[in-house]
């Protein structure tokens, strides 16, 4: 199994392959171009985003700066919104569903390193995919760790560290992130604390 297969399959590998480093550098050059676009260059920004990511659905918006290890291993559905400083540690695949919102300074990390100091000294790494369902909101400063899946319609509170899978239809918060409660009828009546939904 070569290094690229090991990177995709969750196997331990050593980050020493120069051809991988050169390939990553090309991705980072494209990312630099994306981050240097002016606010008035929306068409150019969208074109670059589609060149950067593996997939980009309709009506996606990413506010620069965007940070990524590769970018080309990230798959966006439609109607994805990412605020400033989305960080994609996408050494393997990140899958983001439709109608997902990222607050500022969110990190999605597929890469990890062994606890054993000898292996870390040799720059050992492993990668596990991250999967974000449809209609998920991830609050500012949250971190999603390797191998995590977040179910449809869930909300991840600001500053949460998501170390394990989160089911669909819940509010989850904290470090480590835990399910606080299901999304319920009160959430359909109040949008924030005691503020009632009134769209008239």
> What size, in residues, is the chain?
200
- Give the pLDDT of residue 41: 97
d(C-alpha 83, C-alpha 138), whole Å: 11
Q: How many CA atoms lie within 13 A of 172 on its CB side?
A: 29
CATH of domain 3-196: 2.160.10.10
Nearest to 100 by CA among 69, 144, 37: 144
- Give the pLDDT of residue 43: 96
Q: Any catalytic annotation for residue 113? A: yes
Residue 154 per-residue DSSP state: -
Of 113, 120, 122, 181, the catalytic one is 113
Domain ranges of the chain: 3-196
Global pTM? 0.95
87-124 as b/e: b if 16+ CB within 10 A: bbbbbbbbbbbbbbbbbebbbbbbbbeeeeeeeeeeeb
167-176 as b/e: b if 16+ CB within 10 A: ebbbbbbeee
Residue 165 in this model has a pLDDT that exceeds 90: yes
Residues 7-46 have pLDDT tens digits of 999 999 998 888 899 999 999 999 999 999 999 999 999 9
* Residue 66: count of CB within 10 angstroms of its CB: 21
């Amino acid at each position: 199994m070569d290094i690229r297969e090991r990177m995709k399959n969750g196997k331990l590998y050593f980050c020493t392959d120069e051809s991988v480093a050169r390939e990553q550098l090309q991705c980072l050059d494209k990312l630099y171009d994306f981050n240097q676009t002016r606010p008035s260059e929306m068409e150019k920004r969208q074109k670059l985003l589609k060149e950067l990511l593996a997939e980009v659905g309709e009506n996606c918006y990413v506010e620069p700066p965007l940070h990524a290890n590769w970018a080309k291993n990230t798959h966006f559905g439609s109607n994805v919104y990412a605020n400033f400083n989305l960080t994609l540690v996408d050494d393997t695949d990140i899958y983001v569903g439709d109608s997902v919102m990222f607050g500022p300074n969110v990190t999605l990390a597929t890469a990890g390193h062994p606890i054993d100091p000898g292996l870390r000294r040799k720059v050992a790494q492993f990668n596990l995919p991250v999967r974000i369902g449809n209609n998920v909101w991830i609050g500012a400063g949250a971190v999603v760790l390797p191998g995590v899946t977040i179910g449809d319609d869930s909300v991840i509170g600001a500053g949460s560290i998501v170390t394990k899978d989160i089911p669909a239809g819940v509010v989850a918060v904290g470090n480590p992130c835990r399910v606080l409660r299901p999304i319920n009828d009160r959430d359909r009546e109040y949008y924030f604390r005691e503020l009632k939904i009134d769209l008239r």
